[in-house]
Amino acid sequence: MFGNGVIPQLEKGLQRISLQQQANAANIANVNTPNYKSKVVGFQSEFHSMLQAYRSDRRHLSFSGENGQYVTRKETSTVMNHNGNNVDIDQEMAEIAKNQLMNQAMIQLLNSKMNGMRIVIKGGK
C-alpha cells in the first residue's frame, strides 16, 4: 500500500533528519575534545534515491546510485581549533535549526497524507 509513494520517502527523510540530529549532538558534546573530528551525514545516497523515486516512466533514464542508506562519516579535511578539533559550534547550531524546520515540514506532510487516507477510508465523511 505504501510501497513506493510519498510516505516511504517522508519516512526516509525523517530517518535522515534523526541521524543528522544525532551527529550534531555528538559534535556539540565534543566541541572541546582534542583531535575530535566532526561527523556529517552522507547526502549522495539520498540524492540518488530521490531521483530514482521520481522516475515516472521506464523509458526515462535510470539513475544508478547507492542503496539509499545514510552514512555518517568523519569530516577530516578541516581543522578549526588549535587542539585539532574541527567542530564549528555556529554551524552545528544552524544545522540543528534547519533540521527542526525540515522535521516539522515532513511531519505536516505526513499528517496531511494520513488525513487524506482517513477521509478516503471513511468514504468522504
Q: What confidence score (pLDDT) does residue 21 get?
A: 93
Tell me the C-alpha distance between 81 and 78, whole Å.
10
Domain boundaries, the chain: 6-121
Tell me the C-alpha distance between 41 and 59, whole Å.
32
Instruction: Dihedral sign for Cα 46, 69, 18, 106, please.
Output: positive
Q: What confidence score (pLDDT) does residue 66 get?
A: 39
Tens-digit pLDDT string for the chain (125 aa): 555 578 888 888 898 899 999 999 999 999 999 999 999 887 545 545 554 555 566 666 555 443 456 667 777 777 777 888 999 999 999 999 999 999 999 999 999 999 988 898 888 76
CA–CA–CA angle 12, 118, 101 (5° rounding): 40
Q: What confidence score (pLDDT) does residue 68 get?
A: 53
Is residue 26 within 8 Å of residue 42, measured between CB atoms? no
Q: What confidence score (pLDDT) does residue 76 get?
A: 73
Q: What confidence score (pLDDT) does residue 72 get?
A: 72
The 10 Å Cβ neighbour count of residue 14 is: 15
